[in-house]
Amino acid sequence: MSIAQMYAKIANAGTGSEREASKILPIRDFNNWAKSALINLAIKQLKGSNFTVLDIACGKGGDLNKYKQGKISYYTGVDITLESLVEAMRRYNGNVVKNANSIYQADFLWADFFQKEVYKFIKPTIKFNIISCMFALHYAFQTREQAMTMFRNVSQLISANGIFIAVFPSKSTILARLENNGYVHGQKTPIPPLQNKLYTLQFTQPHPRLRDNEFGQGYDFQLAEAVEKTTEYLIDMRDLRDVLLENSLEIRHEFPSLEALFASNLIPGDSLRKFPRAMARSARVLHRINNFKSEIDEENFWENLEEEVVIGAKKDEKVPDIVDLKQIPEVYLEVINLYQAVMICKKGGSDGQIVRKNDRAEPRRIGDLVNLMDRDIDLEGLRESLQGRMWEPYVDE
């Protein structure tokens, strides 16, 4: 299954209360906090206001509200999956309906950012202060050519002293776990899988020299409710630095795990203060699991309890806040710490300028979508895929 097909299949995944009953809720909540913290860090380091943002692999627009809180002036979301982009536009339109004066203006771009030189289709005067690629950069490292295209786009589109932020799987963490499971560098033997009840990471072919820096070191990854079995690629930090150097970019900060990001003294205090609130849903769910642990097999917890029992802690029930990663069970931390984060910058270049059409944000429709793919938009197929919901604005509850 291709990346685009996989994400199209999950484009209609539940939101709101449905996600509170998710088996991976602590992972979702922590990852959302980590992305918010990175965005906040970028904004604090840039200083000023009215920033412009390019969100690569924006998906269904899960980070739209994170940027709203950062008081940016303009946003462009790019994705390879049309269904996800339509959902992102619906979510954005919901924000416009609520208050068109307080939301930034936005455009959405259907394109493969790893294979097409997108910057050639954008006016040279348009530059972005913040460019992000959350949980998707590793797909570009199937080949050196794709990685070069990706960062050529970034280098051409980022403003002077702009910041690129990304979260992706940590090769060093994966290698360390593989070696703990018996993998020996240089031996052409089957590689043992990494897995628990939530995820599976499996190399389907022998890779005797995983410690070497080479592109295309692929593995199959699956995460309950989030990622169907799909091929991902290791990012060797030596390769990343080489590609960055060729595109006049450099790593400013590297966080070897998301736990290291949480512990970093670089993270703004307001992000740390928001952590308990960001984990509040998970705190309720984990509290309920602990309460029922003596009565029910935890393995079948979700199948044996009604949703309202799972997520509905009683009003007089004291639910302790999650204030530290140590309070998150290891089964979730195993997945959380598969990932690392980086902040990348470019010195020099031009600031660019994006001129707002007016002071009010406007809803975005299919006709506003910029299409850089090699095929037309199939409106009938979209209507069928999105079950007739594509024209109404999506409003978060």
Domain that holds residue 355: 23-169+234-275+333-385
Same domain? For 309 and 380 the reply is no
The model's pTM: 0.87
- Identify the CATH number of the domain in which residue 154 sits: 3.40.50.150
Asked, for residue 14, whether it belongs to a domain, the answer is no
Buried b (16+ CB within 10 A) or exposed e, 323-347: eebeebeebbbbbbbbbbbbbbbbe
When pLDDT is averaged across residues 187-194 and rounded to a whole number, the result is: 88
Q: CA 10, CA 223: separation in Å to the nearest integer?
A: 12
Q: Quick one: 320 exposed, middle or buried, by C-beta within 10 A (0-12, 13-18, 19+)?
A: exposed
Query: Which range (6-20, 128-142, 220-234, 283-297) has the least confidence?
Result: 6-20
Compute the mean pLDDT over every residue in the chain, rounded to the nearest whole number: 85
Same domain? For 304 and 266 the reply is no
* pLDDT (tens digit per residue) in 166-188: 999 999 999 999 999 999 988 88
Same domain? For 60 and 87 the reply is yes
Query: Which range (48-52, 153-157, 170-174) has the least confidence?
Result: 48-52
341: which 2 tokens?
Answer: 């984060």
Q: Is the pLDDT of residue 55 over 60?
A: yes
Same domain? For 164 and 312 the reply is no
Same domain? For 31 and 118 the reply is yes
Binning pLDDT at 50, 70 and 90, where does residue 322 land? very high
Asked, for residue 268, whether it belongs to a domain, the answer is yes
Binning pLDDT at 50, 70 and 90, where does residue 125 land? confident
Asked, for residue 264, whether it belongs to a domain, the answer is yes
Q: Is the pLDDT of residue 397 over 70?
A: no
Same domain? For 345 and 262 the reply is yes
Q: CA 145, CA 63: separation in Å to the nearest integer?
A: 28
Asked, for residue 214, whether it belongs to a domain, the answer is no
Same domain? For 144 and 293 the reply is no
Domain count of the fold of the chain: 2
* pLDDT (tens digit per residue) in 268-304: 999 999 999 999 999 988 888 777 665 555 556 555 5
